[in-house]
Amino acid sequence: MNINQFNIRVYAIILNKEKNAVLLSDEFQLNTRMTKFPGGGLKFGEGTLDCLKREAIEEFGQEIEIIKHFYTTDFFQKALFYDDNQLISIYYLSQLKEIPQFKISEKPHDYGKEKNGKQSFRWVKLSFVSPEMFTFPIDKIVAALLQSSKF
């Protein structure tokens, strides 16, 4: 294994205080079903906050308000899909600027036929969030941190 690149990902922990819930993204990417927080890859020349704002527009077509930093990976994590990459993930507590204008599903992976690029969103009550719900190791850690946080 010859790791020689960083893969930096930026994610939003979008809270809905009225529902006491967090927004999750169910996706089918790289021929894999995944549950994660909304967000994605940092592009060269882009700051982390600009990345997250861009990802929100790309993923669900709405602006978010970034409240504060929540967590950054503090251990070595090899990227799961790229052999030569070290993954660094950065999470920000956020909220939607307006009520959702996109479909909110009641069930996981509610995007129809499994095809790369498919995505659906759902609110999950913070009291029900658990590491087991998530696909990726760093998201699992963030889920555990959410369980112990007070909002």
Q: Where are the domains of the chain?
A: 5-148
DSSP annotation of 38 reads S
Give the separation between CA 148 and CA 133, rounded to whole angstroms. 16
φ and ψ of 125, to 5 deg = -55, 140
For the entire predicted model, the pTM comes to 0.94
pLDDT at 151: 65
pLDDT of residue 81: 82
Side chain identity at residue 106, one-letter code:
E
CB 56 within 8 A of CB 38: yes
Give the homologous superfamily in CATH for domain 5-148: Nucleoside Triphosphate Pyrophosphohydrolase (3.90.79.10)
Mean pLDDT (whole number) for 62-75 = 97
**Could you report the per-residue pLDDT of 79-123, keeping only the tens digit for each?**
888 788 999 999 999 999 999 999 999 999 999 999 999 999 999
Given a contact cutoff of 8 angstroms between Cβ atoms, the answer to whether 14 and 64 are in contact is yes
Specify the pLDDT at position 83.
81
| Residue pLDDT, tens place only, 28-65 | 999 999 999 999 999 999 999 999 999 999 999 999 99
pLDDT over 90 (residue 126): yes
